[in-house]
A and B are shown apart, each in its own frame.
Chain A
């Protein structure tokens, strides 16, 4: 068991709404800043595997829409909010640690 904090960006590096792609253990992740909070999530839409770097759009609050089929996800939980009950988005906890934004991975 353990915990890892993996730095993915520096504080101030991300403009609001910009999605930065990072590689975590061979998987593609997007990191973004929305209303002062950082979020990290899988680059691949869980519906039909669209690339959220190009098809993803941040809407009001913490809502992410995949413009491929208009599926919407809550970036805090990954829950599919439109349509309800759709496949969840894989999300990871992102937090500020000193000068860096880190993904916290616990196991």
Chain B
């Protein structure tokens, strides 16, 4: 057989953004060997007729630093077509480390990323010191490809010990940190990350170490990347402010490295902020520098009934009603004067997180068959159908169904027009899955499958080719991932094979697969048929094969050193 693997008759969406086309893809020795009409056979053949064949997706914003140590697949990444992940975001990495500071790093992970302490204590063995040692630990043990950023928090603790959360660094300590960053980059880091989010604290309530760094320190560390012309600089400054863009511009100009900032997404409560952010970042790119904003694809959705509802807790009358016994609450909902108070609160000019709009919440499920016609309608549409005011239609439908009608609401990420512009922007890097973090709160492994299902198929805000580009070659280019993110001869044979007609993510669910019996949330996908890493199938129609073909993705300084040697 000429080839190891042959994928026959799929629609190749190659990651470049160019129009897709029907072709066979042949794989040899872990690389794409040939694309087109292929005559030769292979040891294994997959019939991809009717399916899309794309490069494997690259999840560039994860906190899998610990999970990858016990879970070679970073479950549930491959279930969503993800073949490569980047760890070490938001200033947090598990290396470099020296004896005695391990717990300082754990304290930061436990609080900032909400990873159960007992899982970290059992799952992280600390058998490394440098960043390169840490990456070495993964060699030969990976199901997917893994790269990482060196985190400012670990670097600062390494140089300053516990005083890293107490004070400014001395000149000597900054020099020591510069040395640690260089060592990490030479060991294979893809860049560095820092964290100035004033909400990010350690387990003991102290600020994470990088928050104590002034611009002189931070810029001195970023200069290491500039001097060596390598790596990305990932940042989180906290609540979005337009003045942050001056800082991004200064850092991008000074280093000429790609800057990543968090984050932008449409919010109904601040409906123009995303536009202001895109307007603010454009001059940076126009000036010739790079400052990519990270955006999430997953709307922050709440499903609720008026029997159990927190959505309106910002409004005093609504809030009090939701704590009343249900029978009293129903009487109150039927009362005209109470409705007047409820409406007055919803139409006041007071700034709230709730959007106060009737054209966003929808009827998701009804209790009575005769109301089936309302399913999928917004409350504004419901009002028109029932020839009522929106509040009356909302409350009357609920009362008719004994408060069991299920409604859908999204305060963030729900506006198709805005999200279309955000997701299509060349200045926006799609994906903030936070995989491996906040594991008891949610699971967004499916940011890519949701991009393809919700935003491409259902809302048609971009083409399949544009979306796949955003999940593959776009991050691969920014992070400097060599020979990944495209389907081209010579590139790594990382692939996702999926059905564009059904691809999507399921709602998160509970699992018990973390160390020390810790629970966490996982997420399944729909329509994802195969995930292939370096030419080997790891996910065969939902079944994990147990193969470990993943590689450590090391950065350019490591590769240069290795080439020179």
Residues of A near any B CB (own CB < 8 A): 1-2, 4, 6, 24-27, 29, 42, 44, 48-49, 65, 68-71, 83, 85-88, 90, 92, 103, 105-107
Give 11 new A-B contacts, CB below 8 A, not counting A42-B313, A70-B111.
Answer: A1-B335, A4-B328, A29-B323, A48-B440, A49-B441, A68-B114, A70-B202, A86-B199, A88-B314, A90-B310, A107-B317
Q: What string of 1s and 0s marks CB contacts (under 8 Å) between B301-338 and chain A?
A: 00000011010011011011111111011001001011
Given contacts A1-B341, A70-B205, contact A107 B324 (CB under 8 A): yes
Interchain CB contact under 8 A, A48 and B114: yes
Interchain CB contact under 8 A, B111 and A107: no
- Main secondary structure, interface of A, reads loop
Q: How far is the CA of A24 from the CA of B309 in the complex (A)?
A: 12
Ordered by A's residue number, 27 sampled pairs between the chains whose C-beta atoms are within 8 Å are A1-B341, A2-B338, A4-B328, A6-B323, A25-B322, A25-B323, A26-B308, A27-B322, A42-B313, A49-B441, A65-B205, A68-B111, A68-B114, A69-B201, A70-B111, A70-B201, A71-B199, A83-B198, A83-B199, A88-B314, A90-B310, A90-B313, A92-B319, A105-B320, A106-B316, A107-B324, A107-B332
B501 within 8 A of A: no
Interchain CB contact under 8 A, B205 and A1: no
Q: How close is B65's CB to chain A, nearest CB, in angstroms?
A: 19
Across the interface, which residues of A come within 8 angstroms of B373, CB to CB? none
B178 within 8 A of A: no
Q: How close is A51's CB to chain B, nearest CB, in angstroms?
A: 10
Residue in contact with A1 in the complex, picked from B198, B239, B326, B338, CB distance below 8 Å: B338
Across the interface, which residues of B come within 8 angstroms of A87, CB to CB? 353
Across the interface, which residues of B come within 8 angstroms of A105, CB to CB? 320-321, 323-324
Residues of B near any A CB (own CB < 8 A): 111-112, 114, 198-199, 201-203, 205, 239, 307-308, 310, 313-314, 316-317, 319-326, 328-329, 332, 335, 337-338, 341, 353, 438, 440-441
Across the interface, which residues of B come within 8 angstroms of A6, CB to CB? 323, 325
Q: How close is B440's CB to chain A, nearest CB, in angstroms?
A: 8
Q: How close is A15's CB to chain B, nearest CB, in angstroms?
A: 24
Across the interface, which residues of B come within 8 angstroms of A69, CB to CB? 111-112, 114, 199, 201
Interchain CB contact under 8 A, B321 and A107: yes
Q: How far is the CA of A83 from the CA of B313 in the complex (A)?
A: 20
Q: How far is the CA of A90 from the CA of B8 in the complex (A)?
A: 57
Residue in contact with B329 in the complex, picked from A1, A25, A70, A103, CB distance below 8 Å: A25
Q: Report the nearest B residue to A27, measured CB to CB.
A: B323
Interchain CB contact under 8 A, B332 and A92: no
Q: How close is B119's CB to chain A, nearest CB, in angstroms?
A: 15
In the complex, the 10 A-B pairs of residues with the closest C-beta atoms, listed nearest first: A83-B199, A105-B320, A24-B323, A70-B205, A48-B441, A90-B313, A70-B201, A1-B337, A25-B323, A25-B324
